[in-house]
Structure 1
Amino acid sequence: QAPYQQHYPVSPAQRRMYILNQLGQANTSYNVPAVLLLEGEVDKDRLENAIQQLINRHEILRTSFDMIDGEVVQTVHKNVSFQLEAAKGREEDAEEMIKAFIQPFELNRAPLVRSKLVQLEEERHLLLIDMHHIITDGSSTGILIGDLAKIYQGADLELPQIHYKDFAVWHKEHADHQKDEAYWLDTFKGELPILDLPADFERPAERSFAGERVMFGLDKQITDQIKSLLAETDTTMYMFLLAAFNVLLSKYASQDDIIVGSPTAGRTHPDLQGVPGMFVNTVAVRTAPAEDKTFAQFLEEVKTASLQAFEHQSYPLEELIEKLPLTRDTSRSPLFSVMFNMQNMEIPSLRLGDLKI
């Protein structure tokens, strides 16, 4: 635990989010919304009280952010009051209501979480929850929803011993950055490749966040073949999919030096498993999918590269980007243009009393 201070340092990930927010680039890109459909009898007061207790329990939900003497700091507030908004609506308007609910946050005003209960029918409600990414991440969603369910059911939870600000202070004082930094600077020495995927139109001068989602599945036969390959090569599904993705990029771009960003959970210390907050870091994995290699050879290289990247994952991506001689380009992200993310965090199946969710 960190000794009491009026303000605490932020983690590198929080600093990045704060600065993007100040530059106006963030708008709602870093909001983390969730929508739960509740079927059954909802007790609004009990739900509001449970969310208030959740905020009392986890300091990060009572934290705000400011710039003091040129440094971004976080302040943990002793008491933060919470109101659960209530409204009525029609199911066919749900999409519009959700869009209207997601609004930018002011980072200097806690709590950076808001919630609304929309009644669609007598026993059918939508619970809308929105949080800023500066206080949460994918793994935190599971922790918070699990705690909310237990509190709603009246369980007695032990108070957490460690909070996010303790991690931020520890990370600043104790992380072994020198060994990690040496590894990353060595990985990205020499000329750095810029992925050039052929497109049927000009790349815009400013990055746009407009996009499309394509969904597809793999059939059982291919999945079984992949699983037996993993067993033979002692690799994981993550390594296999990352290798296949790199081969695809290499074929499209006709390049054999590829850098792909990949998010990591960032919870490298066992004490952090149950702590909500923004722990995610991004590692950059550099591989060489040259056409004279067999896939098995390349998979082995990806295995080594990913194991090493995860071993050195505590080194903040922001610091690496500052240290590298990168040409700034408003149309691209620095260091890599594509990301590969494998979502495998546990989101607990939910019960809130007798409610079906």
Structure 2
Amino acid sequence: MMTTTVKNILDTLRAKQVRISLKGEQLQVEAPKGVLDQQLQQQIRDNKDALIAYIRQIKGIQEITIEPVPVAASYPLSSPQRRLWILSLLEPGNTAYHIPVAYRFEGALQVTALEKALQQLIDRHEILRTVFREQEDGEPVQIVLPAAQSGFRLLQEDLRGSHHTEHDIRKQMNEVLMQPFNLTTDALLRVGLYRTGDQQWILLAVIHHIISDAWSMHVLMQDLMQYYYAAADGAAAAQPALRIQYRDYAAWQQAQLQQGGFKDHKSYWLSQFEQGVPPLQLLGDLRRPAVKTYRGGIIRKEISARLTQGLKQLVQESGTTLYTGLLTVVQVLLSRYTSQQEIVLGTLMAGREHIDLDNQIGFYVNTIALRLSIATEQGFRQQLERMKHFMTGVYKYQDYPFDELVKALDLTRDAGRHPLFDVLVVLQNMMPQTEATIAGKHNLQVMPCELPLTAATSKFDLSFYFAAQAEGLLLDIEFNSDIYLPATIQRMGHHLEVLLEALLRDPDQAMAKADYLSKSEKTVLLERAAQGASLYFTAREALVMEEAGE
């Protein structure tokens, strides 16, 4: 049985989004930057043997939890796969669920070895050669094709020469990204290799979300480069066979749901929404379409190192995480815009609590709907404390499939909105570190490539994607362009930064008093408040104030 000390440490690590695992005899710790303070590091060191023993014990239990299913002609879909399958029937050609990743190669790339590595990758991960079809009774299933029938081929373009501009390269890559997949017949992994110089290439991989997620893209590149280096050496890659495949996970998940394996998780999430789902009263610039659309754009903003470090210090003092701090700032901003005391925000969890899933490619990420309450008469520090306790329950019950929750709630659906929330908040630094394992061999440098692509889709009304930089944070606000105009989102990013500054300046001041407006905005605000209108600025008002130089 796990000791109280080890349990406390593991609960703390989980709350701080720290993952621990075993690699051979070594204890591996993965954490967001700045989370592992000296005290926590010392606790891990002092209890290392007990932690290793516990992980071994759990690994032994977990390895018999998800068992390989017998080979069959078809297999059930997981809950999130079923949602994307239904969406593909309702909206054929929808590209909102395409996941791209790009890497830049510089040096002596052996294209033949790369092609071989791609084929070996597809051999290893069955999900990369899986298609989706309906049975005669209308039930969707996934079918694993033999490797020789996957239909995959590497797309190659030579873009050297003065007549090929950066615009041409972007256009070529966008064509690959935006070409729809046919889930019933296509290879759902598409890879293009673009030669931009004598020793320069860009590798673009596009994969459909129904067989992948962001974590999977790191696994894909890590496995691909291991196979590539072995092929370049003329050697066999030392890659052990996967014990289970995604089909085994999907079958396990569905069996758990049928047998009541998620009973406690289901009860927790149903209790969160027993009083209903408060819709976000955030005004758009345009009339919301009657049926949800996915056209979108992105506004990028940098948050200074000064503000980032200030937030990190405050959340550390509060015993919580940078993600919780950012989530709380977005919550405060939206509450100030709408005057709502309860807001539902979405987030994503990796969905890889099971040890066997770390090195898998598949649709494991789980969407989580967070029903958050706020008392703006209290201070930011108090709200962080409230959020810390709330997130403990979220992490404990994070495995319950989002789609099952939507089904269990039996909501009256609005065809123009996401079922539970309109705004997503994500901190994108929880992926496994791939780059160190794939670069610097065989006179070939492999570097992540900023995608020179045109953002044309948005899954939600708004998505706040935060990412750690060498200094500060990068914020991409993805927005539905059928609801919002770019000027509005630009101002929203500015408001968030000004609000963060005010919250950090006095974290004990009532959040309702934290300023985020310019002088001209305050003038307009007073006029709107006198009329009983929303505190949210439309794009037209924002543009007027921009022209006024505020």
Alignment TM-score, normalising by the size of structure 1: 0.94
Q: Which residue of 2 aligns with 1:322?
A: 407
Find the aligned partners of 1:44 and 1:127 in 2 and give their Cα distance: 11
Q: Indicate whether 1:78 and 2:146 are aligned.
A: yes
Q: Which residue of 2 aligns with 1:270?
A: 355
Name the CA shift for 1:108/1:257 in 2 (closer, same or farther; >3 Å).
same
- Letter of the aligned partner of 1:41 in structure 2? A
Q: Which residue of 1 aligns with 2:229?
A: 153
Find the aligned partners of 1:245 and 1:355 in 2 and give their Cα distance: 42
Q: Which residue of 2 aligns with 1:279?
A: 364
Q: Indicate whether 1:197 and 2:282 are aligned.
A: yes
Q: Which has the higher contact order (CA 8 A, sep 6+)?
A: 1
Q: Which residue of 2 aligns with 1:61?
A: 128
Q: Pick from 182, 187, 207: which aligns with 1:111?
A: 187
Name the CA shift for 1:24/1:200 in 2 (closer, same or farther; >3 Å).
closer
Q: Indicate whether 1:41 and 2:127 are aligned.
A: no
Taking only the aligned residue pairs, the percentage that are identical comes to 38
Superposition deviation, residue 163 in structure 1 = 1.1
Moved more, 161-170 or 173-182: 173-182
Alignment TM-score, normalising by the size of structure 2: 0.62
Q: Indicate whether 1:355 and 2:423 are aligned.
A: no
Larger Rg computed on CA atoms: 2
Name the CA shift for 1:7/1:260 in 2 (closer, same or farther; >3 Å).
same
Counterpart of 2:325 in 1: which secondary structure? helix
Counterpart of 1:19 in 2: which secondary structure? helix
Counterpart of 1:153 in 2: which secondary structure? helix
Superposition deviation, residue 277 in structure 1 = 0.5
Find the aligned partners of 2:92 and 2:341 in 1 and give their Cα distance: 33
Q: Deviations over 1:125-161 (max 9, x none)?
A: 2222221111111111111100111110103211111
Find the aligned partners of 2:146 and 2:378 in 1 and give their Cα distance: 59
Q: Indicate whether 1:9 and 2:76 are aligned.
A: yes
Q: Which residue of 1 aligns with 2:374?
A: 289
Counterpart of 1:173 in 2: which secondary structure? helix
Q: Which residue of 2 aligns with 1:22?
A: 89
Moved more, 111-120 or 243-252: 111-120
Superposition deviation, residue 56 in structure 1 = 0.6
- Letter of the aligned partner of 1:168 in structure 2? A
Q: Deviations over 1:284-317 (max 9, x none)?
A: 1111112222222221221222221222122221
CA contact (8 A) 2:406 2:420 kept: yes
Q: Deviations over 1:99-128 (max 9, x none)?
A: 112211111225311222222222222222
Q: Pick from 297, 300, 311: which aligns with 1:212?
A: 297
Counterpart of 2:297 in 1: which secondary structure? coil
Q: Which residue of 2 aligns with 1:230?
A: 315
Q: Pick from 157, 163, 171: which aligns with 1:96?
A: 171
Counterpart of 1:356 in 2: which secondary structure? strand
Find the aligned partners of 1:163 and 1:286 in 2 and give their Cα distance: 34
Moved more, 111-120 or 47-56: 111-120
Counterpart of 2:101 in 1: which secondary structure? strand
Counterpart of 1:283 in 2: which secondary structure? strand
Superposition deviation, residue 347 in structure 1 = 4.5
Q: Which residue of 2 aligns with 1:240?
A: 325
Superposition deviation, residue 266 in structure 1 = 0.9
Superposition deviation, residue 205 in structure 1 = 2.7
Q: Deviations over 1:169-196 (max 9, x none)?
A: 1111235222111111111012421101
Name the CA shift for 1:191/1:54 in 2 (closer, same or farther; >3 Å).
closer
Moved more, 55-64 or 208-217: 208-217
CA contact (8 A) 2:327 2:425 kept: yes
CA contact (8 A) 1:62 1:78 kept: yes
- Letter of the aligned partner of 1:51 in structure 2? L
Counterpart of 1:282 in 2: which secondary structure? strand
Find the aligned partners of 2:285 and 2:142 in 1 and give their Cα distance: 45
Find the aligned partners of 2:193 and 2:200 in 1 and give their Cα distance: 10
Q: Pick from 99, 104, 118: which aligns with 1:51?
A: 118
Counterpart of 2:427 in 1: which secondary structure? coil
| Alpha-carbon RMSD | 1.8
Find the aligned partners of 1:114 and 1:77 in 2 and give their Cα distance: 16
Superposition deviation, residue 220 in structure 1 = 2.7
Name the CA shift for 1:331/1:110 in 2 (closer, same or farther; >3 Å).
closer
Name the CA shift for 1:22/1:190 in 2 (closer, same or farther; >3 Å).
same
CA contact (8 A) 1:198 1:252 kept: no
Name the CA shift for 1:297/1:75 in 2 (closer, same or farther; >3 Å).
same
Find the aligned partners of 1:266 and 1:320 in 2 and give their Cα distance: 15
CA contact (8 A) 1:193 1:257 kept: yes
Q: Which residue of 2 aligns with 1:346?
A: 432
Counterpart of 2:303 in 1: which secondary structure? coil
Counterpart of 1:213 in 2: which secondary structure? strand
- Letter of the aligned partner of 2:320 in structure 1? T
Which portions of structure 1, spanning 4 or more consecutive aligned residues, are displaced by more than 4 angstroms? none
- Letter of the aligned partner of 2:310 in structure 1? Q
Q: Which residue of 2 aligns with 1:132?
A: 208
CA contact (8 A) 1:283 1:310 kept: no
Q: Which residue of 2 aligns with 1:166?
A: 248
The number of residues matched between the two structures is 357
Find the aligned partners of 1:220 and 1:37 in 2 and give their Cα distance: 27
Counterpart of 2:345 in 1: which secondary structure? strand
Name the CA shift for 1:193/1:110 in 2 (closer, same or farther; >3 Å).
same
Q: Indicate whether 1:144 and 2:220 are aligned.
A: yes
